[in-house]
Chains A and B, each alone.
Chain A
Amino acid sequence: EPEVTQTPSHQVTQMGQEVILRCVPISNHLYFYWYRQILGQKVEFLVSFYNNEISEKSEIFDDQFSVERPDGSNFTLKIRSTKLEDSAMYFCASNRQGYGYTFGSGTRLTVV
């Protein structure tokens, strides 16, 4: 069964540093998403991406966040200047319109 792949599985970074979280969505999916989950809490929507542009974003997704699909297969989330409160599990997902989401296994980001 096709999978969404996320790398790395765990990233530790110092406050103020930039991080890039990587995702490889399922190849015939057209919609891509990033969600985050602060430890053991609610899964929160960050951003959706379609046709090489952001289609929707939440209030969490402020100017320190950006997404891109640099090469037609990877889908990345960049956090420019990490803060302690950015520590969370970040999930990538993809789908075709009208179908359910397939989630990756997540990247645990720890900001120290």
Chain B
Amino acid sequence: AQSVAQPEDQVNVAEGNPLTVKCTYSVSGNPYLFWYVQYPNRGLQFLLKYITGDNLVKGSYGFEAEFNKSQTSFHLKKPSALVSDSALYFCAVRDLGSGNTPLVFGKGTRLSVIA
């Protein structure tokens, strides 16, 4: 069975500082990894995804994520945080080797960027 862990419920960072939101995953085959963002009272907005290729994936709004197979991690990063980045971030995984299995989400990490 596939699973995702987001070990931090909350991440606080000062505006202009780099941010990292952590994610580790578990799948039996190869992972298909995603990050989504949710602003208050809004839906899930796609940020970026990894299937194959470069381990560093660039996405929307200046975010990027690094796939690390040996550590089974897919941490979300941004070099310089903005107050407007404050939101709930979800990591999600699918097992590529199991047909069209559903996407499984982590519990979410609330990012707070302080001016």
Question: Which residue numbers of A lie inside 8 Å of B, CB to CB?
Answer: 31, 33, 35, 40-45, 48, 50, 55-56, 91, 93, 95, 97-98, 100-106, 108
Contacts and interface: CB of A to CB of B under 8 A. Distances in A.
A43 B100 contact: no
B43 A106 contact: yes
B105 A101 contact: no
Interface string B33-67: 01010000111111001000000000000000000
Q: Which of B34, B43, B92, B96 has the most CB of A within 10 A?
A: B43
B29 interface: no
Q: Which of A40, A91, A100 has the most CB of B within 10 A?
A: A100
B44 A100 contact: no
Contacts of B41: 108
Contacts of A91: 43-44
Contact of A41 (B42, B101, B107): B107
For the complex of A and B, list the 7 residue pairs with the smallest distance between their C-beta atoms, beginning with the closest. Answer: A105-B43, A43-B105, A103-B44, A42-B107, A45-B102, A106-B43, A97-B100
Contacts of A42: 105-108
Interface string B86-115: 001010100010011111111110000000
B23 to A, nearest CB: 13
Contacts of B88: 40
B18 to A, nearest CB: 26
9 contacts: A43-B90, A44-B105, A45-B103, A45-B104, A100-B49, A101-B34, A101-B103, A103-B46, A106-B42
B43 A104 contact: yes
Interface in B10-38: 32, 34, 36
